[in-house]
Amino acid sequence: MHKTLIQPHGGTLVNRSLYDYERQTAIEYAYTLPQLTLSQRNLADIECIATGVYSPLQGFVNEEDYYNIVNDMHLSNGLAWTIPVTLQIPEMVSDKYKLDTEIALVHPNGDILAVMSITNKFKPDQDYEAEKVYGTTKDAHPGVSVMRAEGEIYLGGSITLINTIPHNDFQNYRLPPTITRAEFTERQWNTIVAFQTRNPIHRAHEYITKIALELVDGLFINPLVGMTKSDDIPANVRMRCYEIMIEKYYPSDRTFLGVFPAAMRYAGPREAIMHAIARQNYGCTHFIVGRDHAGVGSYYGTYDAQHIFNEFGRNELEIVPMKFEHAFYCTRTQAMATAKTSPSTFEERIHLSGTKVREMLANGKTPPTEFTRPEIAKILINQARYASA
C-alpha cells in the first residue's frame, strides 16, 4: 500500500514562480526596476529557492536568519538550516540597491529572471562566517574564496521567479521537487534513498548505494551539476557515466536519475545537513552520508559529516541519514567491503575515491576494474585525453 510521501522541510513545498497573466505583469514591472546581475552561485540559489529545493526559504536570508544559521544552525523560526543562502554585492555599488525597495535579478546574458524585495541590508564579519560555516578563514578553501568574492554587503528578502533559468544541458533530468514527488508516487515508492555525488559513480559508490537499495523501495541518484571546482570532472561527462551505470548495473525500475542544480560550497558537515534537507524536499526518506561528504582538502574529519546529524533530533530532521564507512576493494575476498565486513589487512585493501581517480586520469592512466566499471573508465580516460589536448 502506498503511503503519503514525506513532508517537505517545514511542512510546505515552496513555489516562488509566477505564471500566465501575473507573470506577464511582473515582467513588465521588472523592467522599471534597478537591475542586479547574478553570479553563477546566485543563479543556482534562486533556482533552488524558487522551485522548493531549499524549502522553507522564500528568498535570500535576512539578517536575523543569517546570524541564527551561522551561530546555531537554525532559522529564526527554529527550523534546522546550516548554511546561509546569501545575495552579496560589492560595497562600492551598494548605494544603488536601497532598503525596502524592489530590484530585478538579471542573468549574465541580460535576461531578467526574478524580482526581489530588499527587506534587509547588512555587512557581517566574513571571517566569523568563514570560521563558523567552513571551519577556516583561509582563501585556499573554495567555499571561503567564493564567499569573499561575492561581495561585502548582504541583501536579504523574498524573490519571485518570472522567467525560467536557462539551461542547455540535462533538460530531461532537471526535475523540481513537484516532479520527483509525483514520480515517486507513480512508482509507489514509500521509502526512497538519495545519493548525492559530484564524481562519477565508482565501485565504492556502487557498493554503498546497492546496500542502501536493499533497505528501501527506490534509489534517487541526484548528482550536483551546479558550480564546482575547476578540477572536478565536468558535469556532462559525469552524467554520461551515470546513464551507463543505471542502464547496465542498476535495476531500472528501482533507480531514478535527476540532477541537483545547487552550487557546491564544500562546507563539509554543514553542507551534508543542507543536502539532506534538499533531498527531503525532493521526497526522499533517507540520505546516504559516506566518507568526507561535501569535503575538500583536509579541512574536515573523515566522518564529521556523519557526526553532525547527531546534533539534530528526529523532530528537527525527518529524513534519515544512512551512514557508511569508507568502502574498498578487498583482494582477499575479491569483493567490495568496509572494515565492518572485511578481515583483510591494510595491504589487502584497494582504497577508492574520486580524488584518486582524478589523479590517475591526470597521469594518463586508465582506472582498473577495482576502481570503476570498464565502460566508465573508457569515458573518463577519453575525457582526460581530450582535456589535455
Q: Quick check: helix, strand or coil at residue 159?
A: strand
- Look-up: residue for cell 534537507? 277
Nearest to 272 by CA among 299, 294, 296: 294
**CATH number 3.30.750.24 is the correct assignment for the domain at 20-161:** no
Look at the pTM and tell me if it is higher than 0.75: yes
Q: What is the pLDDT of residue 64?
A: 98
d(CA 251, CA 94): 53
Question: According to DSSP H, which parts of 31-160 are helical?
Answer: 40-50, 63-72, 126-129, 142-150
d(CA 303, CA 191): 25
Residues 274-325: pLDDT tens digits?
999 999 999 999 999 998 999 999 999 999 999 999 999 888 999 999 999 9
d(CA 372, CA 389): 24
Give the largest CA-CA distance in the chain.
70
- Look-up: residue for cell 561535501? 294
Residue-wise DSSP of 246-274: HHHHS-GGGEEE--B-PPP---THHHHHH
Residue 380 — very low, low, confident or very high, per pLDDT cuts 50/70/90? confident
Positions annotated as catalytic residues are: 198-199
Signed CA dihedral, 271, 118, 34, 95: sign only:
negative
Check whether the bond before 56 is cis (ω within 30° of 0): yes
Composition of the chain by helix, strand, coil, percent to 5 = 40, 15, 45
Q: Are 77 and 64 in contact (CB under 8 A)?
A: no
Nearest to 195 by CA among 321, 300, 72: 321
Domain map of the chain by residue range?
20-161, 171-388
**Domain 171-388, what fold?**
Rossmann fold (3.40.50)
Give yes or no on whether 20-161 and 171-388 have one common fold: no
Residue 351, phi then psi, degrees to nearest 5:
-80, 140
Q: What is the pLDDT of residue 363?
A: 83
Q: CB-hemisphere CA count at 13 Å for 273?
A: 24
Question: According to DSSP H, which parts of 76-131 are helical?
Answer: 126-129
Residue 389 — very low, low, confident or very high, per pLDDT cuts 50/70/90? low
Residues 189-239: pLDDT tens digits?
999 999 998 888 889 999 999 999 999 999 999 998 887 777 778 889 899
267 has a pLDDT exceeding 70: yes
